[in-house]
Amino acid sequence: MRDIGLTATSIYIPWNWHQPDPDAPPDLDGRTSPERDLRAAMDEIATAGLDCIFRPGPFITAEWRNGAIPDWLWEREPGVLALDVTGGVSAPDHPYPAITHAHPAYRSAEAAWLEASCAIAVEHLASRGGSVIDVQLDDEPSYWQRIASGSLAVDYNPLLIAGEPSRFGAWLLERHGSLDAINETYGVAWSGASDIDPPRSEMTSAADLARHADWFDFKLHEVNLDMEHQYRTVVDVGIDVPVSMLFPYLLALDAVRFIDFIEERGLPIHLTNEVYLSLFGPNSCDERKLGDIVASHETYTGVWLRGHGPAISMELQGANSTNITPGAMELLYAMTVARGIKGINIYMMVGGENPPGFENVTGRGYDIGAPIAADGSERPHAGVLRKLVKVIEAGGRALLDAEPLRDTWIGCLATLERAAIVGGAGPMAAAAELLTTTFSGGDMGMSNASSLPALMVNSSVSFGAVDLERATPEELAALPQVWIPGLPHLDRDVQETLVAALALGAHLVILPEVPRRDEHGAACDLLWEACMGGVEATPPDPRASPEAMHMLTTPQGESIVAPGRRWSFALPPDAHVLAHDMKSGLPVAFMRSTGGGRVSVLGFHLQFVPNEQNDQKDFLERIVTDDGERPLATRATDRRIAAMQLHSSSGSFVCLANPVELPVTTRVRCTAPSGDALTFPQVIDGITFEGTGARLLPVGLDLGGGLTLEYSTWELLEVDGRTLTFASPGSAPGEIRITGKDAFVLDPDGDVSRITIEGERR
């Protein structure tokens, strides 16, 4: 790992491996087996010159038996296991157990484990000259995905729902303020605290949303409390380096609830995300994946990171698929850097073998495509990582400081994700469809959704994410454009914010409909009145199939494929038609001024359609750029190439991604930096791909000594005094432009070309 260029290693410390006997202290020094000698492992890491990210769990996932929770824990205390609505153990055949975090037996046992394991970390803290730079709490805390399984999966443990009031009842009374308020919100007639009960059946109408939503939020709260318990435990042991947590709840939008919690409690926990292309399957990487990668990173950095540590992907895929191709990994790694992620941890980096009795999901072998195989040999994508390290080091401060240039913003709403989870198969099916097809959060990069983000990225539209619950009207109005998820219901507070933003000059793009109800299903016409005054709207035919494919046409002559149901409109004179239904001729999308701003209403799902060609991309680009008034920051002439750009005051980097296994040569038009200012455009010609892959190309990079690397069609690998080293993939020629007082000569050498700058030679 050190020789590839990594600076740190992360290690899981499996509880059930180190403490197989509950009546004996954990074996952390190898007294029962050399493979349990954690102290020796820490010494090896230090000897290699690597830092260490210490991951003691208690839950580690890791395709390891029970995610490292010991069987003896629930054999002695069966009550620690989470229960479903039937009163039985939740998903008893699941490879990972769901735990009732509040159970005193679990709280006591996890504290004892964290104290013992983190005592080793304390011996090796960076603050004491050791290698440990971070301690990560419970891995992906989520009742192991039971939260996303609907309302009835967890946790009906009597510890939580029995009593007067129960733990749940007390939480609910605090949230609503009184039993009368609960009765009014739920439409029930509970007479006392002992009547308070969680939902016992699936949602049957939108009126049930408030009750199911509260039950969902209570589960998140229980996870939060356990994370606080873990944090205080490791700090009390003496951990004084950053304490981090990986991807709260495994939910791209609701993760924001954990951040709300740690801010309320003053817990300085760092937050990290993770992105994979495929888990436990073939590593296919079609063009839709590009949208998933960007959406995963943007919801993290734009919605729930909120300054809690640097932007770090704690698990960026290095393994866990049958076939790992270098081109697909190059896409993932380069695009991750291009979205402003400052730290990358490859999971997993080194293959191995699970000890007998601890196999889970992968069986005995735990290699599945790691860059360094179990026998120590390197697989091809280890070379991709080696090159990435060089590109990052060569980029230096310019790359470290650089942030993505964004053309537009997607509005994110945690309540939309929650509604889709608790009622996605019934009355909230529209929310589930909208979340998947249009406003996808990326599903850790794995969703393969034909989504709006997929269309944007494949059209070289760089988008950011903004939290609609937290954003102020002024913040939304300051953005060039915000895309709004349109459902029959939208939170009243959010509607008020959006109406105020319109008055301040915001441009909102709402699809596929403008809401007329609030989060409780009550009438709320705030946004409708601001956007739809004088518009006659015809809703989709209820008999229409969600799989329908409508053909639309635009005044510019483009034809657009619109999947799913669609609205149509009769418009007043002040509305500008954006698209018509090809069969009926009725308008299905329009733009108009309202208040001090503008609104574009698309009465259909605009999303990536594989069989659609450039008309779809042209339509999107025209909306994003206001008919060309604000050109895209970066755009490739070959529309198969996705282009995006990072910028800092000392240089920019253009990321070009080719998701198809075909040769491509393209020109890119990008934004050229000039000090702190941005000028437009810079044109770079002759960028060649032989197949799937990505490039991170320097633009306007300050080399020092009066020299500027204006651009290069090759990636910059090293700046060593007066020598620049570039990667020249394949046999394609490249072009490099350097300006300044000195000239240069080109000296090709195999796969790598060096430019040596020599005196006054021109």
In 351-385, which positions are buried (b, 16+ CB within 10 angstroms) versus exposed (e)?
beebeeebbbbbeeebbbbbbbbeeeeebebbebb
CB atoms within 10 A of CB 28: 19
pLDDT attached to residue 757: 42
pLDDT (average), residues 586-603: 96
Reply yes or no on whether the pLDDT at 752 is more than 70: no
Please check whether residue 486 lies inside any domain of the structure: yes
pLDDT attached to residue 746: 52
Based on the fold, state whether residues 640 and 613 are members of the same structural domain: no
Domain end point (choices 594, 624, 654): 624
pLDDT attached to residue 676: 55
Please check whether residue 260 lies inside any domain of the structure: no
SS3 468: coil
Based on the fold, state whether residues 524 and 659 are members of the same structural domain: no
Domain end point (choices 624, 654, 671): 624
- In degrees to the nearest 10, what's the CA dihedral of 588, 593, 595, 600? 40
Query: What domain count does the chain have?
Result: 3
Question: Which residues 6+ apart lie within 8 Å of 178 measured at CB?
Answer: none
Please check whether residue 687 lies inside any domain of the structure: yes
pLDDT single digits (tens) 455-470: 999 999 999 999 999 9
Domain that holds residue 534: 408-624
pLDDT single digits (tens) 293-321: 999 999 999 999 999 999 999 999 999 99
pLDDT single digits (tens) 380-434: 999 999 999 999 999 999 999 999 999 999 999 999 999 999 988 787 888 888 8
pLDDT (average), residues 573-600: 96
Alpha carbons 250 and 258: distance in angstroms, whole number: 11
Based on the fold, state whether residues 585 and 673 are members of the same structural domain: no
Banded pLDDT at 323 (limits 50, 70, 90): confident
Based on the fold, state whether residues 590 and 643 are members of the same structural domain: no
Reply yes or no on whether the pLDDT at 244 is more than 60: yes
Cis peptide bond N-terminal to 546, omega within 30 = no
For residue 521, the domain's CATH number is: 3.40.50.880
For residue 686, the domain's CATH number is: 2.102.20.10
Based on the fold, state whether residues 536 and 569 are members of the same structural domain: yes
Please check whether residue 762 lies inside any domain of the structure: no
Which residue shows structure tokens 């997607």?
410
CB atoms within 10 A of CB 194: 13
pLDDT attached to residue 647: 93
Alpha-carbon dihedral sign for residues 422, 427, 433, 439: negative
Reply yes or no on whether the pLDDT at 762 is more than 60: no
Based on the fold, state whether residues 483 and 615 are members of the same structural domain: yes
Banded pLDDT at 737 (limits 50, 70, 90): confident
Considering only CA atoms, give the Rg of the chain.
27
Q: Using alpha carbons only, give the angle 174, 178, 182 rounded to the nearest 5 degrees.
A: 95
User: Of all residues in the chain, what percent carry a pLDDT higher than 90?
Assistant: 79
Mean pLDDT of the chain: 92
Based on the fold, state whether residues 31 and 124 are members of the same structural domain: yes
Based on the fold, state whether residues 641 and 747 are members of the same structural domain: yes
Based on the fold, state whether residues 569 and 698 are members of the same structural domain: no
pLDDT attached to residue 680: 55
Do residues 314 and 345 make contact, with C-beta atoms less than 8 angstroms apart?
yes
User: Of all residues in the chain, what percent carry a pLDDT higher than 70?
Assistant: 96
Reply yes or no on whether the pLDDT at 700 is more than 80: yes
pLDDT (average), residues 157-184: 97
pLDDT attached to residue 741: 63
Phi first, then psi: give them for residue 133, nearest 5 degrees: -110, -10
Please check whether residue 280 lies inside any domain of the structure: no
Based on the fold, state whether residues 620 and 639 are members of the same structural domain: no
Nearest CA-CA partner of 395 in 176, 59, 688, 695: 695
Beta bridge partner(s), residue 723: 720, 756
Q: Using alpha carbons only, give the angle 624, 571, 538 rounded to the nearest 5 degrees.
A: 95
SS3 507: strand
pLDDT attached to residue 542: 84
Based on the fold, state whether residues 564 and 703 are members of the same structural domain: no
For residue 34, the domain's CATH number is: 3.20.20.80
pLDDT attached to residue 761: 28
pTM above 0.85, yes or no: yes
Please check whether residue 142 lies inside any domain of the structure: yes
Based on the fold, state whether residues 539 and 664 are members of the same structural domain: no
Please check whether residue 268 lies inside any domain of the structure: no
Nearest CA-CA partner of 332 in 347, 322, 350, 351: 347
Please check whether residue 35 lies inside any domain of the structure: yes
